[in-house]
Structure 1
Amino acid sequence: MNIEGAKVTINKSAEEAFQFFTVLDNFEQLMPENTQKFEVDGESFVFALKGMPEIRLVLGERIEFSKVSLGAASSKLSFSLTAHIDAVSDSTSDVQLKFDGDFNPMMAMMVKKPLTAFINTLTENIAKL
């Protein structure tokens, strides 16, 4: 299952955007208002939204100034959330979030709507940076 957020332009250079996404504490600023838990632990963080189970994301692939990936810490669910960064100018860049998950059809049907809403909220909050 693939979900792509809208591409948004932010007032940060590609380098600044890359640095922002590699500091996991910064993800707390992007989380929805109904976040009940957010804890950073080394190269991973755990978050929980109201009425949802806790999810741990681990910092994964990093391509300097263009890509930062977070992956599932659990082998039970295989997915990644990737921020793609494209320089627009020296002081602005485009950012697009992409979610890729390997779910069975029933699970995909259940999680597609809330995941799409989650990606859209993250994207809206990135646009405010």
Structure 2
Amino acid sequence: MTIIQNSCIVNKPIEEVYEFLQDLNNHEQLMPDNIYNWSSTKDEARFTIKNMAKLSLKISQRIENQEVVCVPLEEAPFEITLRWKTQQESSEVTKATFVIEAQLNMMMKMMAAGPLQKLADHQVARLKEILG
């Protein structure tokens, strides 16, 4: 299992950060420019990664103010789980961690690890920009 992650500190209460993350409609704002054909509901999102693949994700688990877990809705090129974890640092400060867990063989790891790390880095940076 390959685990890729990044974290950021957001100057908002944990409830506000969790509320944003638990709705997949908000995740389009976190995506990089190479994502298009986005469509979503609160629980599902479908999009295309330029020159790569179409993906469909669904929320498989929500633990209030702690974690949101997304898994593929349809068959994906490899097993993957996307996990947002929130942790209260103080009443007005939240640590948000984006974790990508992917089942990659050596060949896929060489090809996908870099882009997946860039995705994690981009999403936490955008979350910090959007929520302050």
Normalising by structure 2, what TM-score? 0.88
Unaligned runs of 5+ in 1: none
Moved more, 33-42 or 86-95: 33-42
- Give the letter for the 1:96 counterpart: T
Per-residue CA deviations over 1:14-58 (Å, capped at 9, x if unaligned) read 111111111111001101123222111462101223222111111
Taking the aligned partners of 1:63 and 1:71, their CA distance within structure 2 comes to: 15
Query: Contact 2:23–2:42 at 8 Å: present in 1 too?
Result: no
Compared with structure 1, are the counterparts of its residues 20 and 49 closer, same or farther at alpha carbon in structure 2 (3 Å cutoff)?
A: same
Give 1:100's aligned residue. 101
How far is 1:110 from its partner?
1.2
Query: Contact 2:85–2:96 at 8 Å: present in 1 too?
Result: yes
Alignment partner of 1:110: what SS? helix
Q: Percent identity?
A: 25
Per-residue CA deviations over 1:68-87 (Å, capped at 9, x if unaligned) read 11112234531111111001
Give 1:81's aligned residue. 82
The RMSD of aligned alpha carbons is: 1.5
- Count of matched residue positions in the alignment of Structure 1 and Structure 2: 128
Normalising by structure 1, what TM-score? 0.90
Residue 112 of structure 1 pairs with residue 113 of structure 2: yes
